[in-house]
Amino acid sequence: MKKFRLLPAVMILAASLFIACDPEENGENEDKNTVDTKSMTIDASGFSDWKYFSFETGKEVSAADVGDYESSKFKMNWDIAFHRGDIRTNSGASGNGKGGALKGNGAKLADIITIPTEGYAVDEEAEIMIEMSADGYRTQSKNTVLATWYSSEGMPPVYVVNDYVYVVKTADGKYAKVKFTDYTDDAGAGGHISFSYQYPVK
């Protein structure tokens, strides 16, 4: 009789151990390469300066750590920089890094499954408005692929963020998936760039 009384208890104990050790419950079947999506907003509304960002730290890089426009070309502590709607990567005419950008096929970060290793556009010289005047343009640089991230029309301007996902190559040759989500702040002022990103991705 004792054996029959113990059997239900043994079965309950075994079932509880099975549930506790379920690999799906413990996340053992999850993709080990899954990268969290993070969000960032950069106030790049000023005309006279660039704002720099590092995917490695997930933070803006201070002006003191980058220097002026010319000095920034020799720094490896930033990956992407913003000036109003202009964007630079640490590459080509903008810097000595291994950076660049390409436009991915898809409208969501999850749509980009395979990260290309070739085809990244490096930065080129461009006319950048650094003063709000007709003669306020200076020859600096930007990434022409990332220049497609938004458009504007009318006066006062209406800004439209294009539904693209970009792969940005960082200064040290790693990769980030980036989707821009806004160009304005709550008051509607331009130059406030919001984006979601995943880093590092392979």
- pLDDT tens for residues 19-78? 444 444 444 434 445 799 999 999 999 999 999 999 999 999 999 999 999 999 999 999
Model pLDDT, residue 34: 77
Residues 6+ away with beta carbon under 8 Å from 83: 44, 46, 47, 49, 50, 51, 128, 142
pLDDT tops 60 at residue 14? no
**Average pLDDT of the residues of the chain:** 88
Question: What is the β-pairing status of strands 137-142 and 37-43?
Answer: unpaired
Model pLDDT, residue 30: 40
Model pLDDT, residue 87: 98
Closest CA to 49 of 71, 20, 27: 71
User: What is the share, in percent, of the chain residues with pLDDT greater than 70?
Assistant: 84
The CA–CA distances, whole Å, from 192 to 29, 41, 150, 164, 186 equal 39, 7, 12, 18, 9
pLDDT tops 70 at residue 15? no
